[in-house]
């Protein structure tokens, strides 16, 4: 209840328009120390061993405690600590230390994502420059909080905090407002009351958390840095993915609202303006965040991969993917977990078996849950048993886990089976694993991720979801002071938020619907190099609007959409009235007297930048309205690509705009020639003035007979 109100308020308060100028500098330095050997002790003794390493150098126990920011336990051994350059130098001389690198407290997708999407600072005509890096905008990030020490939040070049900023920065556990907020990170608050009301007392022993804006989980830090992280030149993760890291709108001010708590959930659900599509793909009807006023984002791969060569004893080399820094391992013994194990990665943990000692282990997992611990558990089990590496065969497009010192290579089932056949074909199988490389290439196809939730929208089938797709796979992201590889639609969402921010700073008066329309109608239907986008799933197929909505977000084109499909509060009221709301309940929701039209409006007429007809019988006519935001005297002609077996007629078929005519409506008559109930067929409707192509996806399902649960 009251959700519509909150969302609209959020749009207004989250993006405020303010001016800044550039001055000032700032510095902190955190180093990540990689240790050669993995320790297998209890978590506390791992941390203690890291502390002991630093004691001789830093002196007191307290100084060590203050210095160590994070102890790593999964995948590799090491810790992050605040050090001077000379201390870092001294530590790197210790025998147990492999290397020491300045921390990678930022999100390395940004070393590739923005260039991939064509959003580069290169020319003065680019969207980034025209929008002045988003520098007039304050972005509110409602998530798990922030790890404020991240270099991506440094306020280098920022002037005084705008006087119009009325929000605050509050202190709390390990968060001191006067130190941790700065001229970029201008606001930070945490909301725990709603949560406490729901679950009773928040016991931070049971659910480790910071009672402050500090980010325990790491998710919010990632989101904030992807939306608005500052420029950081020449960064890499152990040499992989080198480039300049930045957020989509590097000049923004950030206001952090911690409303989501690790392992517990969010106390302010449903108020995101841009929300992720969910990670429950590839099955149909798995989409979350289905409301028409939310921009729902699907996740795709980038044109970047981390090929890692596996050479078998028969000298055949296959390419898997990993984040493995080397040095090269092998040749060493190779095994698949022997009986009584089945080769299932999950069993490695249940049956730690000494036969894995000194070997590389091949295992298979069918686990489709992207957040499952299957890979981490397999790495832990093999490494605990004294194994030297693991090769995991599984479905493609799941996140890679960075294991810099312990090779953990992903292959698909086909390659995994080849390796298994090799193992079975020889008395003493051996393998060599080479260090990972970074490959950025047009030869790497873009795919909608397996986990990315798919339409159709089961709650409001006439509203296309997802709206748009953005890169969200194998993203190296900040987790506190370390980096983790994350994949998820919530990795893709901040990419689109970054674009929204740039559009808002370019066109402050655009409504959320106008921004959404610009993004959807200009999206790429292919990858940026013109190759088709596929959708991963149980079988790979060409992507359709239920996989990626309008397509892959194209930031530069979104800044010049030509026409927009706009919506006002009245349209949202119409939508609610088209569902189960009546005069009474709509007034309650909007907290003011509101009247639903009679007869009920048709949801098909909602002015969305898409047409989705879930139950076409014979024919239907629907209306859309477009607003010219391009050159005044423009003439647009219609181009129709109807779905298979469907006819579409648009009247008028030419739209003439002038200084007085800015808004024009048109009608679309859609009829079916099918004789049976069908699945969805897809097409498009384009308005073009030969400069701008305003494309909306069309999805039509024929329903001659009453719908029933059809198993076939």
Ligand X SMILES: *[C@@H]1O[C@H](CO)[C@@H](O)[C@H](O)[C@H]1NC(C)=O
Which residues sit opposite 692 in a β-bridge?
none
Single out the residue of 568, 582, 588, 661 in contact with ligand X (rule: CB under 6 A): 582
Q: What is the CA radius of gyration of the chain?
A: 27
Single out the segment in contact with ligand X by CB under 6 A; choices: 44-52, 350-358, 427-435, 526-534.
350-358
Q: Which of 297, 596, 604, 698 binds ligand X (CB under 6 A)?
A: 596
176 binds ligand X (CB under 6 A): yes
Using the structure block, give the residue that is written with the tokens 């009221």.
Answer: 573
Backbone angles phi, psi at 202, to 5 degrees: -85, 105
| DSSP-derived secondary structure for 425-474 | H-SS-EEEEPPP--EE-TTS--EE-TTS-----SSSTTS-S--EEEE-SS
C-alpha–C-alpha distance, residues 306 and 43, integer Å: 30
The smaller minimum CB distance to ligand X, of residues 491 and 611, is found at: 491
In which order are the strands placed within the sheet that holds 137-143?
A: 16-17, 137-143, 253-258, 185-190
338 touches ligand X (CB under 6 A): yes
154 binds ligand X (CB under 6 A): no
CB atoms inside a 10 Å sphere around CB 285: 15
Residue of 67, 487, 490, 634 marked active site: 490
If one asks whether residue 427 binds ligand X (CB under 6 A), the answer comes out as: no
User: Phi, psi at residue 180, to the nearest 5°?
Assistant: -90, -25
Are the C-beta atoms of residues 88 and 31 closer than 8 Å to each other? yes
**In the complex, what is the shortest distance from the CB of residue 312 to ligand X, in angstroms, rounded to a whole number?**
9
| Residue number with CB closer to ligand X (476 or 648) | 476
Enumerate residues 251-310 that contact ligand X by CB under 6 A.
none
Smallest distance from the beta carbon of 596 to ligand X, in angstroms? 4
Is residue 372 at the binding interface for ligand X, with CB under 6 A as the rule? Answer: no
3 vs 582 by CB, closer to ligand X = 582
Which ranges constitute the DSSP H helices of 510-561? 512-521, 545-548, 555-558
Which CB atom, from 356 or from 519, has the smaller least distance to ligand X? Answer: 356
Three-state DSSP at 668 gives strand
**Smallest distance from the beta carbon of 57 to ligand X, in angstroms?**
23
Least Cβ distance, residue 371 to ligand X (angstroms): 8
Q: C-alpha distances in angstroms, 116 versus 304, 470, 471, 567?
A: 9, 10, 9, 31
428 binding ligand X? (CB under 6 A): no
Q: Which of 21, 93, 163, 315 binds ligand X (CB under 6 A)?
A: 315
Which CB atom, from 244 or from 625, has the smaller least distance to ligand X?
A: 244
Would you call 441 a catalytic residue per the annotation?
no
Residue 197 or 201 with smaller CB distance to ligand X: 201
535 preceded by a cis bond (ω within 30 of 0): no
10 Å CB burial of residue 427 (0-12, 13-18, 19+) is exposed
What is the distance between the terminal CA atoms of the chain, rounded to a whole angstrom?
38
**CA–CA gap between residue 601 and residue 606 (Å, rounded):** 9
> Which residue among 143, 155, 527, 571 is the active-site one?
143
314 binds ligand X (CB under 6 A): yes
From 200-208, 224-232, 387-395, 539-547, span contacting ligand X (CB under 6 A) = 200-208
257 membership: H or E segment, kind and range: strand 253-258
What is the rounded CA–CA span in Å between residue 334 and residue 338?
11
Using the rule CB under 6 A, which residue among 217, 289, 335, 452 binds ligand X? 217
Which strand (E) or helix (H) includes residue 232?
strand 232-237
Cα gap 143→276, rounded to integer Å = 12
3-state SS, 583-617, equals HHHHHHHHCCCCCCCCCCCCHHHCCCCCEEEEEEC
Binding segment for ligand X (CB under 6 A), chosen from 29-37, 172-180, 292-300, 443-451, is 172-180
Could you give the C-alpha distances from 97 to 36, 323, 555, 630, in angstroms and in order?
A: 6, 19, 43, 59
Of 227 and 381, the one with the shorter C-beta distance to ligand X is 381
Question: Between residues 145 and 561, which has the closer beta carbon with respect to ligand X?
Answer: 145
DSSP character at residue 146 = B
Closer to ligand X by Cβ: residue 52 or 583: 583
Q: How far is the CB of 583 from ligand X (least distance, A)?
A: 4
Per DSSP, the three-state class of 346 is helix
Residue 585, interface with ligand X (CB under 6 A)? no
Closest separation in Å from C-beta 338 to ligand X: 4
Nearest CA among 15, 111, 113 for reference residue 492? 113
The residue from 62, 339, 509, 673 that contacts ligand X (CB under 6 A) is 339
Quote the tokens at residue 555. Answer: 């930031």
Q: Which of 188, 287, 484, 518 binds ligand X (CB under 6 A)?
A: 484
Q: Which is nearer to ligand X, 314 or 372 (CB)?
A: 314
Candidate residues 5, 19, 351, 372; the one interacting with ligand X per rule CB under 6 A: 351
d(CA 652, CA 629): 20
Residue 584 in contact with ligand X, rule: CB under 6 A: no
| Comparison of 132 and 262: residue with beta carbon closer to ligand X | 262
73 or 504: CB nearest ligand X: 73
**Two structure tokens written together for 602:** 């048709």
Backbone angles phi, psi at 519, to 5 degrees: -70, -40
Which region, judged by CB under 6 A, interacts with ligand X, from 184-192, 197-205, 325-333, 669-677? 197-205
CB of 331 vs ligand X, minimal distance in Å: 10
Residues in contact with ligand X, counted by CB under 6 A, come to a total of 28
Binding residue for ligand X (CB under 6 A) from 41, 206, 591, 619?
206
Half-sphere exposure of 162 (CA within 13 A, CB side): 21
Tell me if 628 sits within 8 A of 42, measured CB to CB: no
Which residue from 60, 163, 234, 712 is in contact with ligand X, where contact means CB under 6 A? 234
* Min separation Cβ 168 and ligand X, Å: 15
Q: Do residues 551 and 298 make contact, with C-beta atoms less than 8 angstroms apart? A: no
Q: Catalytic: 490?
A: yes
Please say if 344 is a catalytic residue.
no
Please report whether residue 350 would count as binding ligand X according to CB under 6 A. no
Candidates 205, 659, 660, 690; binder of ligand X (CB under 6 A) is: 205
d(C-alpha 72, C-alpha 392), whole Å? 22
Nearest 5°: the CA angle 99, 104, 110 is 135
Segment interacting with ligand X, rule: CB under 6 A, options 54-62, 132-140, 480-488, 492-500: 480-488
8 A C-beta contact, residue 351 and residue 361: no
Binding test (CB under 6 A) with ligand X, winner from 595, 632, 635, 644: 595
Among 140, 145, 218, 250, binds ligand X (CB under 6 A): 218
Residue nearest to ligand X (CB): 598
Residue 11 C-beta: closest distance to ligand X, Å: 27
Q: Kindly state the smallest distance separating residue 443's Cβ from ligand X, in Å.
A: 26
Name the site residues for ligand X (rule: CB under 6 A). Answer: 171, 176, 178-179, 201, 203, 205-206, 216-218, 234, 314-315, 338-339, 351, 353, 355, 479-480, 484, 486, 582-583, 595-596, 598
The residues that are catalytic are 143, 219, 490
């Amino acid at each position: 209840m009251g959700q519509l109100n909150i969302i609209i308020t959020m749009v207004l308060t989250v993006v405020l328009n303010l001016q800044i100028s550039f001055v000032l500098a700032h510095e902190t330095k955190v180093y990540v120390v990689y240790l050669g050997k993995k320790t297998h002790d209890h978590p506390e003794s791992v941390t203690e061993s890291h502390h002991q390493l630093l004691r001789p150098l830093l002196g007191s126990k307290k100084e060590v405690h203050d210095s160590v920011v994070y102890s790593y336990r999964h995948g590799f051994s090491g810790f992050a600590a605040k050090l001077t350059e000379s201390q870092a130098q001294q530590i790197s001389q210790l025998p147990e230390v492999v290397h020491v690198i300045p921390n990678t407290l930022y999100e390395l997708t940004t070393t590739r994502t923005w260039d991939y999407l064509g959003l580069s600072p290169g020319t003065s005509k680019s969207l980034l420059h025209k929008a002045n890096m988003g520098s007039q905008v304050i972005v509110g990030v409602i998530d798990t909080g922030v790890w404020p020490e991240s270099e991506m939040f440094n306020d280098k070049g920022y002037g005084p905090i705008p006087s119009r900023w009325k929000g605050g920065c509050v202190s709390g556990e390990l968060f001191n407002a006067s130190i941790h907020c700065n001229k970029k990170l201008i606001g930070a608050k945490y909301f725990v009351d709603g949560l406490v009301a729901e679950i009773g007392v928040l016991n931070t022993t049971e659910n480790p958390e910071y009672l402050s804006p500090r980010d325990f989980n790491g998710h919010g830090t990632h989101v904030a840095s992807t939306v608005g992280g500052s420029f950081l030149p020449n960064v890499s993760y152990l040499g992989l993915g080198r480039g300049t890291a930045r957020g989509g709108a590097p000049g923004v001010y950030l206001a952090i609202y911690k409303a989501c708590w690790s392992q517990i959930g969010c106390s302010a659900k449903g108020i995101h303006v841009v929300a992720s599509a969910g990670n429950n793909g590839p099955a149909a009807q798995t989409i979350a965040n289905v409301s028409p006023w939310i921009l729902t984002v699907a996740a795709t791969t980038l044109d970047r991969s981390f090929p890692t060569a596996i050479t078998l004893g028969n000298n055949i080399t296959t390419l898997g993917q990993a984040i493995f820094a080397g040095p090269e391992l092998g040749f060493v013994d190779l095994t698949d977990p022997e009986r009584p194990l089945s080769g299932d990665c999950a069993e490695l943990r249940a049956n730690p078996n000494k036969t894995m000692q000194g070997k590389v282990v091949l295992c298979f997992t069918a686990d489709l849950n992207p957040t499952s611990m299957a890979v981490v558990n397999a790495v832990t089990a093999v490494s605990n048993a004294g194994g030297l590496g693991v090769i995991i065969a599984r479905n493609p497009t799941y996140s890679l886990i960075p294991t810099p010192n312990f090779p953990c290579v992903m292959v698909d089932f086909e390659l995994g089976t080849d390796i298994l056949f090799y193992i079975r074909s020889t008395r003493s199988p051996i393998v060599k694993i080479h260090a990972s490389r970074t490959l950025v290439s047009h030869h790497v196809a873009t795919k909608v991720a397996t986990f990315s939730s798919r339409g159709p929208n089961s709650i409001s089938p006439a509203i296309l979801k997802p709206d748009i797709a953005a890169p969200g796979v194998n993203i190296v992201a900040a987790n506190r002071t370390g980096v983790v590889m994350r994949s998820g639609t919530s990795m893709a969402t901040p990419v689109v938020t970054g674009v929204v921010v740039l559009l808002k700073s370019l066109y402050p008066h655009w409504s959320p619907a106008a921004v959404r329309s610009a993004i959807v109608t200009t999206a790429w239907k292919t990858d940026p190099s013109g190759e088709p986008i596929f959708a991963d799933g149980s079988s790979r197929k060409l992507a359709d609007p239920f996989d990626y909505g309008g397509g892959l977000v194209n930031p530069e084109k979104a800044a010049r959409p030509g026409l927009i499909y706009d919506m006002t509060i009245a349209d949202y009221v119409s939508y609610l009235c088209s569902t189960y709301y009546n005069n009474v309940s709509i007034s309650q929701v909007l907290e003011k007297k509101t009247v639903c039209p009679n007869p009920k409006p048709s949801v098909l007429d909602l002015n969305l930048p898409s047409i989705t007809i879930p139950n076409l019988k014979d024919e239907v006519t629907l209306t859309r309205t477009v607003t010219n935001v391009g050159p005044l005297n423009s003439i647009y002609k219609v181009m129709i690509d109807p779905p298979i077996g469907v006819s579409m007629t648009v009247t008028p078929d030419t739209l003439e705009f002038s200084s007085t005519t800015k808004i024009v409506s048109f009608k679309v008559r859609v009829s079916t020639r099918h004789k049976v109930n069908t699945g969805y067929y897809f097409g498009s409707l384009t308005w073009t003035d030969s400069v701008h192509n305003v494309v909306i996806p069309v999805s039509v399902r024929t329903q001659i007979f009453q719908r029933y649960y059809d198993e076939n």
